[in-house]
Amino acid sequence: MIEEGSKRGKAMVEKRQLFMEMRAQNFDVIRLSTYRTACKLRFVQKRCNLHLVDVWNMIEAFRDNGLNTLDHNAEINVSRLETILSSIYYQLNKRLPTTHQINVEQSIGLLLNFMVATYDSESHGKLTVFSMKAMLATMCGGKIVDKLRYIFSQISDSNGVMAFAKFDQFLREVLKLPTAVFEGPSFGYTEHSVRTCFPQQKIMLNTFLDVLMADPPPQCLVWLPLMHRLANVENVFHPVECSYCRSESMMGFRYRCQQCHGYQLCQSCFWRGHANGPHSNQHQMKEHSSWKSPAKKLSHAISKSLGCVPIGEPPHPVFPEQAERPQELTHTVQPKPVANSMNDTIVMSSGAPTPTKSVLESPSRLDEEHRLIARYAARLAAEAGNSTQQCPPTDLSFNFDANKQQRQLIAELENKNREILQEIQRLRLEHEQASQPTPEKAQQNPTLLTELRLLRHRKDELERRMSALQESRRELMVQLEGLMRLLKDEEQKQASQSGGSPHSSPSHGAGCSMPMPIRSTSAGSTPTHTPQDCLAGVGGDVLEAFAQGVPRNLRNDLLVAADSITNTMSSLVKELHSVDDGAEEEETNLRNGGDRGTVRV
C-alpha cells in the first residue's frame, strides 16, 4: 500500500511538472492571445523534445505500431500509448549524435502526462487513435505543409474530397491543445468552426492548403502557423535598436510601425504592449521575420516596380488533384536524400523497413511526375513571357521559339528525373545491403571504435609529451650555454693563476669541437651564480659531471647530454608517427565496413 501511494504521488508530481514549468515562463504577460497560445504550445513542444521528431518519422512510428490498421474511433489504453511514445523517442535517439542524446524516460513521462491531461480529462485511462494522431502530428517537428497534407489524408475520402464530419472531428481534437494550456476561451471549439473555415461544398487538397496556410488563416487555427513561424525565427538576428527598451539588437520577430517613421519594437516589447513617444498600441505594426539591408531593399523595390519580380509567391506547391493515399502507409516512407546540398529534405530512419514496391517506381507515379513537370515548365514559360512583356527588352537577339524551348526543357527534366530515380534505387539497394546486421559486424564495430578512441587518446598524450620535452630541451640548452660560459671563465682563471703555462689550458682536439648552442633571450647576460646553482632542473649526464668535486673537462659530457635529449625526441616522434599510421589504418577499416577485426599499435 505504501508503494502504491508513493507511485500515485510521483505520478501527480510528474503530471503537474510541465504546467508548473510553463507558468514559470510568465507567458501570461503577453497581451495578444494568439502569440500567448503559440508560445505556450511551442514551450510544450520543446520541453517534450517533440520538435526533434519530424512528421515523416512520426508517420513511420504510427505504421510500425500498427495504428494504420485501426479505426479512428478505436481506443488504446495508457500502457500502449506509453509503448508507442517509447518507440518514438528511442528511434529519435538513434538518429541523434551521441553528444545530443535526450533523456528518453523524462520525455516520455512529460508527454504522456500532457496527453492524458488533454484528452482524458475524465480519467478513463483510454484515448482514441484519431486523438493521438491529431495531437502528435500537430505538435511534432517538420514543415506545416507536410503536416497538413497528412491531416488531409486522414479526413478525406477515396476520391480526394474532404469529409466535413471528419474535419469537424479534427477541429474538436486539435482545439483541445489551446484549452490544455488555459487558452480555451480564445480558441475553443464551436459548432460554427467548420463553416467559418470552409464555406464551400467540395474541398480538395490544394483548397485545403490554401485556406489553412492563408494570411490570415482561419481564426480558430491562427496559432498553428504562428507556432511554426516562432520556430523559424528563434535564432534570427536583427541589427536594429528597439525604440522602447533601447536594446541594440533583436532576436526573433521585429515589428515596425506603419505610422511612426523609424519606430521599431522587439518581440518582447511588442508582445507586452510597451509604447513610448508618439507611438500608440493602436497603430498598425508590420511583423518582420528577417533582416534586409537598405541596399537590398532598394534593389528589390526597383525590380518589383519594373515588373521583373513576381509580386506574390504561392504559399505552397501545387499538388495533383487526384486522390492521395493515406500518408501513414508503406509508400509514404521518404527515401534517403540523394545529395546533401538539397534543402528541405526528409531523412528516413536507417532501421525502417523498406517497401517492396515504392511509389517512385510505379508507372502511374512516373506519369504523374511527368505531368507535373510539364505543367511547371508551361508555368515558367508563361512567367518568362510576362516578364519579357513588362521589362524593356535589352537585346532583340534573345527572341526564340517558346514552344521549342518548352519541349527541350521538358525533355531535359524528364531525363534528369529518370536519372534521379535510378540513383535513388541504387542507393536504396546499397543501403539495404549495408544495413543488414551480421554477428561479425555487431562484435567488431564496438571493438574497432574503442581501439580507435584509445589510439587517438594515445596520440594526444604523445603530442603533449613531445611538447613538454621540446620545452625541456630548450631550457636545457639555455642552461648548457650558461654552463659553457662559466666553464670558460673558470679555465681562463686557472690559466692566469698558473702563470700562463702552455699546458694549463685543456686541449679539446680537432675532432671534439663544441656545437654552437641555441641562442635564447633568457641567456643574453652573463650569469653571476655558481655552477652548482645552474644545475636546477638539469639531470642525467650533466648532473653527474658537475657532482664531482674536482674540475674536469665537461665538453664531452655536455655533448652526451644533448645527444640524449635529441635521441629521446627522435624516439618520441617515431612513436607519434606510428600512432598516426595506426589511426589512419583504423579509420580505413571503419570505412570498409569493419572487415579487419583488430588494430595493431
Residue-level pLDDT at 370: 66
- pLDDT 10s digits, 264-280: 999 999 999 999 989 99
Distance between CA atoms of 393 and 388, rounded to whole angstroms? 7
CA angle 300, 305, 306 (to 5 degrees): 100
Residue 55 near residue 147, CB atoms below 8 Å: yes
- Position of cell 511588442? 270
Nearest partner of 104 among 49, 63, 157, judged by Cα: 49
Residue-level pLDDT at 179: 93
Residue 240 near residue 254, CB atoms below 8 Å: yes
Nearest partner of 527 among 573, 571, 481, judged by Cα: 481
Residue-level pLDDT at 491: 82
DSSP, collapsed to helix, strand or coil, labels residue 153 as: helix
**Per-residue CA distances from 96 to 52, 89, 99, 349, 460 (Å):** 9, 10, 8, 11, 27
Long-range contacts of 456-463 (CB under 8 A, 24+ apart): 456/583, 458/579, 458/601, 459/576, 459/579, 459/580, 459/583, 462/572, 462/575, 462/576, 462/579, 463/576
Residue-level pLDDT at 129: 95
Residues in the chain: 601
Distance between CA atoms of 601 and 457, rounded to whole angstroms? 13
- Is the N-terminal amide bond of 216 cis, ω within 30° of 0? yes
Nearest partner of 264 among 245, 284, 242, 281, judged by Cα: 242
Q: Point out the residues of the chain with pLDDT beneath 70.
A: 1-15, 293-316, 321-370, 383-403, 435-445, 499-558, 561, 579-601
DSSP, collapsed to helix, strand or coil, labels residue 77 as: strand
Residue 282 near residue 291, CB atoms below 8 Å: no
What's the gap between Cα 64 and its chain centre? 26
Q: State pTM to two decimals.
A: 0.52
Residue-level pLDDT at 430: 83
Residue-level pLDDT at 315: 65
Distance between CA atoms of 481 and 483, rounded to whole angstroms? 5
Residue-level pLDDT at 266: 93
What's the gap between Cα 165 and its chain centre? 39
Residue 594 near residue 445, CB atoms below 8 Å: yes
**Per-residue CA distances from 346 to 136, 339, 513 (Å):** 18, 12, 73
Nearest partner of 211 among 324, 56, 316, judged by Cα: 316
What's the gap between Cα 227 and its chain centre? 19
The DSSP result for 384-419, as a single string, is HHHHHHHSPPS-GGG---HHHHHHHHHHHHHHHHHH
What's the gap between Cα 441 and its chain centre? 28
Residue-level pLDDT at 340: 36
141, β-bridge pairs: 54
Q: What is the DSSP letter of 246?
A: -
Helices and strands of the chain, counted as H and E runs: 20, 7
Residue-level pLDDT at 295: 59
Distance between CA atoms of 223 and 99, rounded to whole angstroms? 33
Distance between CA atoms of 197 and 151, rounded to whole angstroms? 15
